[in-house]
Amino acid sequence: MTASLVNLLAALAALAPAQDTLPATTAARDPLPVPFAVGENLSYEVRFGSLKVGDARMQVVGVENIRGQDAWHTVFTVRGGTFFYKVDDRTESWIDRDTFSSLRFVQDLNEGGRDRERTFEIFPDRRVYTENGGEERASVENPLDDGSFLYFVRTLPLTVGETYTFDRYFRPDRNPVQIRVLRRERIKVPAGTFNTIVIQPIIKGRGILSEGADGQIWLTDDDRRLMVQLKSKLSIGSLNLFLRSHTPGTSVGSGAGS
């Protein structure tokens, strides 16, 4: 497990149509329709080859106000490892409900004894972001972060045979990213048997879904678009996530923010 499991979310930065049509403003409007709600909880079994090495969880924990905008608050955690390498990662995203643009992204990564904490404040209206309160840096139109991409893909049609390319990752040097929609497949995981759509993200740099890793993600072939399986080929073996349980959300919810 020498690559961060959380980096899988960055690979989803290409999941918009080639001609991006989402609005760039943050003007008041009806929230965009989404296939999830507050309280949704997806639990995964993490395996390295045939060895069970940990657990992962994806949650929509609330709707909070960030700088005057209502935002979905999502959390992704990974815990586990082997006797020689431990992982305890947590990433959080705040996604504008009106525009589905990222407003805040927080990483707390503890991998192999190395701890790294980063907070990104993202300002879509000015196309800039800051890291840990530092100087402003150039961003992009309708920015998305690692966590928000995984939820954004669930709103897309994902036509088999198509390749989607666009430049929405909030750090411009990570763009462009591509998603290939490979096929439909029926698979069995601990949570049950599902009809799925298989996609292949292709991103720059290193990681479990980078070029050369042959990473693939299985999403349910229905309106929910749940991630039920992920597989990646690394130089030291295969890394896999399998859906163990799913609790649907029950309410839009609200919460305090800043």
- pLDDT tens profile 154-205: 888 899 999 999 899 999 998 987 889 999 999 999 999 999 999 988 776 5
Q: Decide: helix, strand or coil at residue 169.
A: strand
Residue closest to 158 by CA, chosen among 35, 26, 30, 32: 35
pTM, entire model: 0.82
At 15 the pLDDT is 33
- The secondary structure of 59-84 as a DSSP string is EEEEEEEETTEEEEEEEEEEEEE-SS
- Preceding amide of 176 cis, omega within 30: yes
Distance CA(152)–CA(219), nearest Å, equals 13
Closest CA to 225 of 243, 203, 204, 209: 243
Tell me which residues of the chain have a pLDDT lower than 50.
1-28, 253-257
Specify whether the CB–CB gap between 186 and 206 falls below 8 A.
Answer: no
